[in-house]
């Protein structure tokens, strides 16, 4: 037997986790820190009561959100957001796969889907209020009705553009329908699907807030609107800060999942760049 020399390209070498996090932290926090200092300086000199200084807001943040408000407002908001996002992902991927794999269904539905996607989701809130009342279900439905589109349309696009040679390979080895779905169609579509999910998450966060501002007696959106109406300015800003933090955490969590799911995809790109 001949000996076959064969070199395997090394996966890009990684620095230690600790130093990586530290470096990322420096990058992520540098500019916000600077802005915070500028803001503090401006706020202490200016007199407008609508722009309290960071310390006041930090105090308000602790007073407002640490304690029962966390359970009464923050958790329900997060639950609606989580439920809405999860439902969007499941429905978007499932429906997108079926539509993407069925040419006649796709041709039938495509104009309709483009129309539905073009409808700004917040306008559905009054409709949903009439149909479903001022309930949690209504808010979750509103979130899904806006967040599902990027996932659905990206999944359709990803699923239909499976590489023809890959499909023929699967066919020639008589790979079963389910195996083809699981090992070929969905992984091949995954970069597009993940791009859709990323968009969907930011849409979901926006809709969570808006639906709560419209029609709710609890939740982050409701609280922020309430503070604003009652001129509790520092509290209002602290709510906005909290929303921003939720958004950042969501993006970080998504980033972690994405790196895992699309490791092959990023790997290929790094190999090509090298």
Partner 1 sequence: MPDRGTLLRVEQLRKVYEHPTGDVEAIGDLSFTMDAGELVCIVGPSGCGKTTLLKCLAGLLRPTSGVVEMHGAPVTGPSPAMAVVFQEYGRSLYPWLTVRGNVELPLRHKKLSRADRDTLVADALDAVGLAHAARSHPWQLSGGMQQRVAIARALAYQPEVLIMDEPFAAVDAQTRADLEDLVRELHARRRISVLFVTHDIDESVYLGQRVLVLSQSPTRVREDLAIDLPAERDQISTRALPRFTHLRTHVYGEIQRAKRGQNVAARPAP
Interface with partner 1 includes 268 (CB under 8 A)?
yes
CB of 109 to partner 1, least distance (A): 25
CB of 31 or CB of 165, closer to partner 1: 165
Interaction mask 212-251, partner 1, x per CB under 8 A: ----------------------------------------
Q: Which stretch binds partner 1 (CB under 8 A): 8-16, 74-82, 133-141, 148-156?
A: 8-16
CB of 168 to partner 1, least distance (A): 6
CB of 163 to partner 1, least distance (A): 5
CA triple 125-215-68, angle to 5 deg: 135
Q: Which stretch binds partner 1 (CB under 8 A): 81-89, 104-112, 181-189, 248-256?
A: 181-189
Cβ–Cβ contacts within 10 Å for residue 43, how many? 17
Q: Is 212 exposed, middle or buried (0-12, 13-18, 19+ CB in 10 A)?
A: buried
Report the distance separating Cα 189 and Cα 158, nearest Å. 4
CB of 180 to partner 1, least distance (A): 10
CB of 152 to partner 1, least distance (A): 22
CB of 182 to partner 1, least distance (A): 10
Interface with partner 1 includes 165 (CB under 8 A)?
yes
User: Within 13 Å, how many C-alpha atoms sit on residue 146's CB side?
Assistant: 25
Interaction mask 182-211, partner 1, x per CB under 8 A: -xx--xx-x---------------------
Q: Which of residues 145-164 bind partner 1 (CB under 8 A)?
A: 163
User: Within 13 Å, how many C-alpha atoms sit on residue 242's CB side?
Assistant: 28
Q: Longest C-alpha distance within the chain, in Å?
A: 85
Contacts for 148 with CB less than 8 Å, ≥ 6 apart? 87, 88, 91, 92, 200
Q: Which two tokens stand for residue 36?
A: 């915070």
CB of 71 or CB of 165, closer to partner 1: 165
Q: Is 50 exposed, middle or buried (0-12, 13-18, 19+ CB in 10 A)?
A: exposed
CB of 181 to partner 1, least distance (A): 13
Give first-to-last CA distance, the chain, whole Å.
33
Contacts for 198 with CB less than 8 Å, ≥ 6 apart? 254, 258
The residues that touch partner 1, with contacts defined as CB under 8 A, are 1-4, 6-11, 163, 165-166, 168-169, 171-176, 179, 183-184, 187-188, 190, 264-265, 267-268, 271
């Amino acid at each position: 037997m001949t000996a076959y020399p064969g070199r395997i390209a090394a996966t890009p070498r990684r620095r230690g986790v600790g130093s990586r996090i530290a470096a990322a932290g420096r990058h992520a926090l540098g500019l916000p820190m600077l802005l915070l200092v500028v803001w503090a300086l401006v706020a202490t000199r200016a007199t407008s009561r609508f722009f309290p200084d960071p310390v006041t807001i930090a105090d308000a943040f602790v007073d407002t959100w640490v304690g029962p408000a966390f359970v009464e407002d923050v958790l329900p908001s997060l639950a609606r957001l989580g439920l809405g996002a999860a439902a969007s992902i499941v429905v978007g991927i499932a429906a997108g796969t079926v539509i993407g794999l069925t040419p006649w269904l796709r041709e039938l539905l495509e104009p309709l889907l483009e129309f539905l996607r073009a409808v700004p989701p917040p306008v559905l809130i009054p409709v949903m209020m009439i149909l479903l009342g001022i309930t949690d279900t209504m808010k979750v439905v509103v979130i899904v009705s806006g967040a599902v589109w990027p996932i659905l349309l990206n999944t359709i696009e990803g699923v239909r553009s499976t590489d023809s040679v890959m499909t023929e390979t699967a066919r020639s080895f008589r790979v079963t329908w389910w195996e083809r779905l699981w090992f070929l169609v969905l992984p091949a579509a995954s970069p597009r699907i993940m791009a859709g999910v990323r968009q969907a998450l930011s849409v979901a966060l926006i809709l969570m807030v808006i639906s709560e501002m419209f029609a709710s007696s609890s939740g982050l959106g409701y609280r922020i609107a309430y503070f604003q109406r009652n001129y509790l300015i520092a509290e209002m800003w602290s709510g906005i800060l909290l929303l921003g933090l939720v958004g950042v955490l969501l993006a970080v969590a998504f980033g972690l999942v994405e790196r895992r799911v699309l490791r092959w995809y990023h790997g290929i790109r790094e190999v090509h760049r090298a």
